Amino acid sequence: MDSTYLELDTSLSFDLNLNSYGVTPKKEYKEFQTEIINSKKKPSVNEEEILLVEKLNQVIEENKKLSELVGVMCEKYNNLKSQMELLSNKNNDQGLVASKKRKAESMDNSNNNVNQVNTDSSSTEEEDSCNKIPKEAIKTKISRVFVPTEASDTTLVVKDGYQWRKYGQKVTRDNPCPRAYFRCSFAPRCPVKKKVQRSAEDRSVLVATYEGEHNHPNPTQAKTGLGPNHGVALGSASIKSSVSGPLVTLDLTQPGSCNDGKNSSPDIKSPAFQQFMIEQMASSLTKDPTFTAALAAAIAGKW
């Protein structure tokens, strides 16, 4: 399988500060502040200037906090990833001990097979061919999407273009915010599930975990010729803009596959790829009208 990783490390999160462009945010802001002050020589606008500087400082602080948050998230992701690699290595060493999957999941699979038994036998053949490997590692693609929302917004809705039907909600131990469970309802047999929960650390961030792959095109993107999975970027790393803000997608697909347990895409770690990602992020931000409008508003002191 072509599972790919977004190898995010803390350095990348610092790259988000645009350090890679040779310009530190602070420096840029300071230059900007002096520019503003120099450009406005009227003594009557002093108060306005002070106000502007204060607001810019606020933005700097906010940027700092966001960078720290991304850093923490990346750190945790890397920790989890290394743990998962350790676990998968263990499994390989032990001759791929059968995973203790829940009966419900196997029932889901059997239901799928029942549904498809008359029309499609390929799925059962596929399972037979990979009998020795845990189904989870083969069939379940897991990716995580971080969606910035307003903290006051209590709805656990992540607009990704697909149609979701909520089938459950649960409060988990590690997070006081409830977790909502969704199934893709666009196609009746689409196996994709989605869990949405607010981040315990930052209530303004929704964490959507996608499991599985859509067996149909994205309803909203089908017109543009994009194939399945592009809407949530399953199986790939992506940064994209949305109405509510930029989405950061992390693919948590396990390294274990039918072929091997090694990372199949080392290029992602390369500086070139990270540079590409940075450029994509910068491009997304500058192209995002919401962001540019907010920036303009901040400059104009209208926040």
Q: Which residues bind DNA (CB under 7 A)?
A: 99-105, 107-108, 164-170, 172-174, 179-181, 185, 193, 195
Q: Strands 247-251, 238-240: parallel, antiparallel or unpaired by DSSP?
A: antiparallel
Distance of CA 198 to the CA centre of its chain: 13
- As measured in angstroms, the least distance from the Cβ of 249 to DNA is 19
Nearer to DNA, 100 or 302 (CB): 100
Nearer to DNA, 185 or 292 (CB): 185
- As measured in angstroms, the least distance from the Cβ of 91 to DNA is 12
Nearer to DNA, 60 or 177 (CB): 177
- As measured in angstroms, the least distance from the Cβ of 244 to DNA is 17
- As measured in angstroms, the least distance from the Cβ of 69 to DNA is 22
Cβ neighbours for 252, distance < 8 A, ≥ 6 positions apart = 80, 81, 84, 142, 143, 144, 209
Nearer to DNA, 200 or 300 (CB): 200
Nearer to DNA, 25 or 178 (CB): 178
- As measured in angstroms, the least distance from the Cβ of 100 to DNA is 3
Nearer to DNA, 50 or 171 (CB): 171
Nearer to DNA, 19 or 172 (CB): 172
Contact 190, 211 (CB under 8 A): no
- As measured in angstroms, the least distance from the Cβ of 75 to DNA is 21
- As measured in angstroms, the least distance from the Cβ of 167 to DNA is 5
Angle between helices 289-300 and 46-93 (to 10 degrees): 150
Cα–Cα–Cα angle for 268, 273, 274, rounded to 5 degrees: 100
Nearer to DNA, 195 or 240 (CB): 195
- As measured in angstroms, the least distance from the Cβ of 296 to DNA is 35
| 287-291-297-300 Cα dihedral, nearest 10 degrees | -60
